[in-house]
Structure 1
Amino acid sequence: VTISNGIVWSADYSTMYYIDTALDTVRAYDYDIDTGNISNERVAVEHQIGDGHFDGMSIDEEGMLWIAVFDGWGVQRYNPDNGALLRHIRLPVRQTTSCAFGGENLDELYVTSAVYGMDDEALQGQPMAGALIKIDPGVRGVPGFSYGG
């Protein structure tokens, strides 16, 4: 583990997805909900386009992964079954850090951002840097996961 970041579970809790930012991949593991044990590590998604690195992550009701791309100007939606990039939503901030579904119906995606290492000129060019940004992803999220062990 180098830079531990996003972690989510499939709707049936049989698969755990995890991001180590330095590897720029989403790793999938078989997950045992009773013990919390993981096994069968494999690469589910590799960063495919543009600059940046995978950072925080969320999962929608269709089982697709939403990933904030630090230094990548947005969030990306991937199919973890085949690694396909399904969508890129460009945002007015370079350093997106994480994302989570919210709202009464879990139909809003909230994206956090940072100002790491930005000077005054960069901040003037990105006045929303460091802000929480709400977007309409067109899909709903799932309730958060809670391990009882």
Structure 2
Amino acid sequence: MYSLNNNLQVEKKVSHVNTSNGIAWSPDDTYLYFIDTPTKKVVRFHYDIHTGVISNPTDVIIFPENEGLPDGMTIDVEGCLWIAHWGGSKITRWNPLTGEQILSIPIPALYVTSCTFGGPNLTDLYITTARTRMTDAELKQYPHAGGIFRIQMNVKGCPTYSFRHETIGAETL
């Protein structure tokens, strides 16, 4: 995993990553959560927002067998992680402090790829899916594969971050 700092310098943060997917920061910016899909876990790092230094990696969620692989991820204002299940046909909500799965939402697609909050109040959960490498039988079972779904939630998502650099002129989303 790499970071691009304000001086436009690239810095390696984590070595030996296979498939970098989900990444999220805690609402108070003290933790960074990261998914390397084949490991089937979410790792939490202490995060220093002023320096960008990450430290103390800790496995906080171990993905259950037979539920697919952890793919994309987002976080809500309560600090809970929402994780897409590649090959698992669902989105799940987790408490990263306890490692407990709180909620499971079935999605009518085999390969659920990512999720993010949006809408005027950040209460719409947008979910992306894939249609790749599916057999004819799977396509028949999951005709909505490859679609984008929206679910109205009772919890608000955290706003996204934008890169800030004086010569690029990026604005907050």
Could you tell which deviates more after superposition, 97-106 or 49-58?
49-58
Aligned pair in 2 of structure 1 residues 103, 112: CA closer, same or farther (>3 Å)? Answer: same
Q: CA offset at residue 121 of structure 1?
A: 3.3
Does residue 26 (structure 1) correspond to residue 45 (structure 2)? The answer is no
Does residue 121 (structure 1) correspond to residue 137 (structure 2)? The answer is yes
Aligned pair in 2 of structure 1 residues 99, 38: CA closer, same or farther (>3 Å)? Answer: same
Counterpart residue identity of residue 137, structure 2: E
Once the two structures are superposed, residues 50-100 of structure 1 have per-residue CA deviations (whole angstroms, 9 ceiling, x without a partner) of: 320000000001000000010011100000001000010011111000000
Describe the SS at the equivalent of 1:138: coil
Aligned pair in 2 of structure 1 residues 137, 34: CA closer, same or farther (>3 Å)? Answer: same
What is the distance in 2 between the residues matched to 1:46 and 1:83?
Answer: 8
Number of residue equivalences? 149
Describe the SS at the equivalent of 2:88: coil
| Higher radius of gyration, 1 or 2 | 2
Counterpart residue identity of residue 16, structure 1: L
Question: Aligned residue for 2:63?
Answer: 47
Q: CA offset at residue 49 of structure 1?
A: 5.7
Percent identity over paired residues = 42
Q: Which runs of 5+ in 1 are unaligned?
A: none
Question: Aligned residue for 2:100?
Answer: 84
Runs of 4+ in 1 over 6 A off after TM superposition: none
Q: Which runs of 5+ in 2 are unaligned?
A: 1-16, 166-173
Where relative contact order (Cα < 8 A, 6+ residues apart) is larger, the structure is 1
What is the distance in 2 between the residues matched to 1:118 and 1:59?
Answer: 29
Question: Aligned residue for 2:14?
Answer: none
